[in-house]
């Protein structure tokens, strides 16, 4: 059986640089298991702390979890981030999205017209290197998205782009596969 190997070391709380261990311990305390992405990001304490702070602030925003999961799925699919697609596929289902909505989200779409308007705007942002057409901006506003929500959605896209880029650049294994490879090495 071939296992995925990351280009970067996947740290845990025992191997991470000293500056990363408090963040990793906090992640373990709240999540129970350390995602491979965080284990990789721990190789740079500054990057890990910045990521954790950014994500923490966005958790206190106005967007619903289902909207955030749609955005995360769309970005993960756009970048071909297998760990992101797998993780957000699961968490989107836990947030109440049906399989059809999970699939549509991967294409920056939704059957919910309000969600679809926001996703079309964000797709243009991602595809057009930052300049969505004004009509998509107005469409999102007409669908009921406030400026605050649109700005939070843009911030969440940036966070998920960063996550996807690290996953893709590092060939970060899907969560669980690193444990499999560790068990194989130990055997």
Write the DSSP string, 152-186.
HHHHHHHHHHHHHHHHHHTTPPPTTHHHHHHHHHH
Mean pLDDT across 14-23 = 93
Read off the tokens for 20: 């990363």
Same domain, 136 and 120: yes
Read off the tokens for 78: 């756009």
Same domain, 42 and 115: no
Same domain, 76 and 129: yes
Mean pLDDT across 15-42 = 89
Is pLDDT larger for residue 165 or for residue 2?
165
Residue 180 lies inside a defined structural domain of this protein: no
Mean pLDDT across 64-93 = 96
Read off the tokens for 169: 């650049």
The dihedrals phi and psi of 4, each to the nearest 5 degrees, come to -75, 140
Same domain, 165 and 87: yes
Q: Using one digit for the tens of pLDDT, what is the confidence trace for 120-172?
A: 999 999 998 668 999 999 999 999 999 999 999 999 999 999 999 999 999 99
Read off the tokens for 38: 């965080």
Same domain, 70 and 150: yes
SS3 94: helix
Average pLDDT, the chain: 90
pTM of the predicted structure, to 2 decimals: 0.88
Residue 98 lies inside a defined structural domain of this protein: yes
């Amino acid at each position: 059986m071939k296992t995925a190997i990351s280009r970067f070391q996947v740290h845990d709380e025992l191997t991470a640089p000293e500056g990363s261990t408090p963040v990793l311990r906090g992640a373990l305390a709240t999540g129970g298991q350390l995602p491979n992405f965080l284990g990789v990001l721990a190789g740079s304490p500054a990057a890990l702390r910045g990521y954790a702070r950014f994500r923490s602030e966005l958790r206190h925003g106005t967007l619903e979890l289902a909207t955030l999961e749609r955005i995360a799925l769309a970005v993960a699919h756009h970048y071909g981030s297998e760990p992101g697609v797998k993780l957000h596929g699961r968490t989107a289902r836990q947030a109440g999205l049906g399989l059809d909505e999970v699939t549509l989200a991967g294409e920056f779409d939704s059957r919910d017209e309000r969600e679809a308007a926001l996703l079309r705007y964000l797709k243009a942002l991602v595809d057009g290197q930052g300049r969505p057409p004004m009509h998509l901006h107005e469409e999102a506003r007409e669908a009921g998205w406030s400026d605050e929500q649109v700005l939070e959605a843009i911030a969440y896209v940036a966070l998920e782009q960063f996550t996807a880029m690290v996953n893709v650049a590092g060939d970060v294994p899907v969560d669980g596969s690193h444990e499999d490879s560790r068990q194989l090495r130990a055997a």
